Amino acid sequence: DSGVTQTPKHLITATGQRVTLRCSPRSGDLSVYWYQQSLDQGLQFLIQYYNGEERAKGNILERFSAQQFPDLHSELNLSSLELGDSALYFCASSAGGGRANEQFFGPGTRLTVL
């Protein structure tokens, strides 16, 4: 158990809908990262937050947004969902914002868009 929690575990929804994925980092970790894992794209970095502020942005679509709250939990919002958004979404956390810090991954949220 990495100490990173993600809810829900599974999410099934329809095209055009909006969903929110939630992540609680390990106790004391200030950085939160979001990743998307799909068969065709592999593991793709979406966005990083450090202590409430956006730190780095990856291949995140404009339909997606995220935030980190004062208690350091984070939410990833996916809107106008398309079939191609079906994937496993991981949250990870690390102690600081440093590049040398290893990241600890949650169990993921499996999103199915029908």
Partner 1 sequence: AQSVAQPEDQVNVAEGNPLTVKCTYSVSGNPYLFWYVQYPNRGLQFLLKYITGDNLVKGSYGFEAEFNKSQTSFHLKKPSALVSDSALYFCAVRPNTGTASKLTFGTGTRLQVTL
Rule CB under 8 A: is residue 33 a binding residue for partner 1?
yes
Q: Which is nearer to partner 1, 64 or 90 (CB)?
A: 90
Instruction: Kindly state the number of chain residues that form the binding site for partner 1, as judged by CB under 8 A.
Output: 21
CA pair distance 113, 19, nearest whole angstrom:
10
Nearer to partner 1, 42 or 70 (CB): 42
- Burial category of 33 from C-beta neighbours within 10 Å (exposed 0-12, middle 13-18, buried 19 and up): buried
Residue 65: partners with Cβ closer than 8 Å, 6 or more residues away: 76, 77, 79
51's enclosing H/E stretch is: none
Binding string to partner 1 for residues 39 to 78, with x set by CB under 8 A, is what? Answer: ---xx-x--x------xx-x--------------------
Where does this chain bind partner 1 (CB under 8 A)?
A: 2, 4, 33, 42-43, 45, 48, 55-56, 58, 90, 92, 99-100, 102-108
